[in-house]
Amino acid sequence: MEYLLNIIAGIELLVCLLFLSHYIYLETGFSTNKGWYLFFCCFLISMVIIPFLKMLPEDINFLIPFIFFGIYIFLSRSSRRIRGLFLVIPVSGLLFSFVSLATSIPYVFNGRIVSISSGYYYVFDALIWIGFLLFWQKGKAWRLRFKQELAFRKLTRWERRLLNVTGSFLFFLAVLMICVADIIHLDMEIRLLLAVGSIGTVLLQMTLIGMVAQGNRKSYFHNIAIMNERYLNIELSHFETYRRNQEETRRIRHDMKNHMLCLRELAEKGYYDELKDYLNNLDNRVWQTDDVLHCGNEIGDAILNQTNQNARDKGIQIRVQGRMAANIRWNPIDICTIFSNALDNAVEALARLETFDFEPWIEIQCSNQGSAQLITFENPTDTQTVIGTVGLTVKDDKDNHGFGLMNIQLAAEKYQGQVTRTIENRDGHTFYRLEVLLFAPS
């Protein structure tokens, strides 16, 4: 029974460390479920096997979660991996401050140190697991909101330093508070020290959590405001284009009587070449009064035609196949996020390529079946192109770029969908393909 409880305690300790690193230090973790499964399988195997290895110290069970937490930081980071190993101390400090608080509460009130094997700690562990279960089942909306905030959020240098210094201070303070009964033998002084230390750690933790949460929300709303401004500008541009087209349509309609007279006269006199040129000129004027691209969604059409104007200047052709479902009302902000970021990324990627043996193009395919809507963006690329991690960017200003794919992914997840990126080879050419799958909101 004690062996099983030690395994459960080790899992609890590791989960707490991962929880604090993600929601306080904003560590993103593994990018795939396969990475998480492999990590936890190795951890469980170690917790099961290592206690039977007699040549290792008896306290190694307590250190296994911290060792694996360091491995997790090293493997999940894309840069500064060695420096990330030092996160074990401040993150452990945040965790130990909770443990020291649990240790000091009974001692402050009755002057006795509670044994680690007593029912008090079992109740404390049970409360932690109940908290995790409630967070998992009831906190889905909060986790989604946090994930959206995290997409726009990175700790600044001073925030990270403050967290590291405070966490390290809490680490040594918590160790001192846990071991204080063995160092000092004055009952009143011990109680006073524990009471002040417990209150201080709680206040420090609340300050840290509040600081990170405030920074998260500030960055989130700042970027949402930028997206809303972009959406409004696209709408205004669309309405301006529509107004100009309507004016041109009214001018053509007003002149249509004169056009018909001219056409009849040219036909009657047999001036067929002039008649052909006149019809071509009139056809071009009519063609310019209509949007060239249509995907079946108003905001999608606006973005397509606005991007198409910029793409033409760079020699890039945009093609659209299929239509989005007309009976499903998607949030305009989400459609704006998907189309604008996908098209901007494609145009920028094509502009970076030096040469083409054919005209560069972007093709958008829209298909739907039932409540499922698939939007595919495809463009040619070079053979050196690889699928990078979401959030990375090749631009110099990395703090203000790299959010496009993350925004698309977050928009898809709001509709229980997913984003798939692939590199395909067809007919001797290489293509980048971005698929966005959405399901109609209930």
- Whichever domain contains 361, its CATH number is 3.30.565.10
How far is the C-alpha of 102 from the C-alpha of 302, rounded, in Å? Answer: 58
**The pLDDT of residue 393:** 45
With respect to residue 111, please indicate whether it lies within any of the assigned structural domains.
yes
Least confident of 36-45, 121-130, 389-398, 415-424: 389-398
- Asked if residue 339 and residue 207 are part of one domain, the reply reads no
Alpha helices in 85-118 (DSSP H): 88-110
- Same domain? For 64 and 190 the reply is yes
Q: Mean pLDDT throughout 116-140?
A: 76
Residue 361, both tokens: 């193009």
**pLDDT-wise least confident of 110-119, 153-162, 165-174:** 110-119
Predicted TM-score of the model (pTM): 0.56
Q: Any idea which of 123-132, 143-152, 228-237, 397-406 has the lowest mean pLDDT?
A: 397-406
User: Is residue 388 situated within a structural domain?
Assistant: yes
Whole-number Å distance between alpha carbons of 359 and 172:
64
Residue found by looking up tokens 């305690």 in the block: 9
Kindly list the distances between the CA atom of residue 220 and the CA atoms of 176, 232, 314, 334, in Å, as whole numbers in the listed order.
Answer: 39, 18, 33, 15
Residues 25, 162, single domain; the answer is yes
Strands (E), 214-334: 317-322
Task: Output the pLDDT for position 144.
Answer: 72
Q: Say if residue 133's pLDDT is above 70.
A: yes
pLDDT for the residue 365: 94
Stretch (H or E) spanning 378? strand 372-381
Q: Which of 28-32, 202-206, 372-376 has the lowest mean pLDDT?
A: 202-206
Overall number of domains in the chain: 2
DSSP strand pairing (361-369 vs 317-322): parallel
Residues 67 and 188 placed together within one structural domain of the fold: yes
Confidence class for position 420, pLDDT limits 50, 70, 90: very high
The proportion of the chain whose per-residue pLDDT surpasses 70, expressed as a percent, equals 67
Last residue of a domain, one of 179, 207, 223: 223
Pair (183, 305) in one structural domain: no
Is the pLDDT at 389 greater than 90, yes or no?
Answer: no
13 occurs within a structural domain: yes
- Least reliable range by pLDDT among 19-33, 34-48, 91-105, 331-345: 91-105
Most confident of 77-81, 85-89, 234-238, 434-438: 434-438
**Region 75-81 average pLDDT:** 83
pLDDT at 40 over 80: yes
Residues 48 and 170 in one domain: yes
- Report yes or no on 380 lying in a domain: yes
Q: What is the distance between the alpha carbons of residues 299 and 234, in angstroms, rounded to a whole number?
A: 8
Residue 395 — very low, low, confident or very high, per pLDDT cuts 50/70/90? very low
Give yes or no: residues 209 and 310 share one domain. Answer: no
Task: Give the relative orientation of helices 88-110 and 119-138 as an angle to the nearest 10 degrees.
Answer: 130
Residue 247 in any domain: the answer is: no
Residue 39 lies in a domain: yes
Q: Which of 337, 20, 21 is nearest to 152 (CA)?
A: 337
256 assigned to some structural domain: no
Beta-bridged to residue 391, according to DSSP, are none
If asked whether residues 38 and 129 sit together in one domain, one would say yes
The predicted model gives 136-144 an average pLDDT of 77
What's the length of the chain?
442
- pLDDT value at residue 364: 94
What is the model's pLDDT at position 363? 94
Helices (H), 50-87: 60-76, 81-84
Is 238 domain-assigned?
no
Domain boundary among 207, 223, 239: 223
For CA atoms 75, 79, 82, 85, the dihedral sign is negative
Structural domain containing residue 434: 293-439
In the listed set 190, 208, 223, which residue is the last one of a domain according to the structure? 223
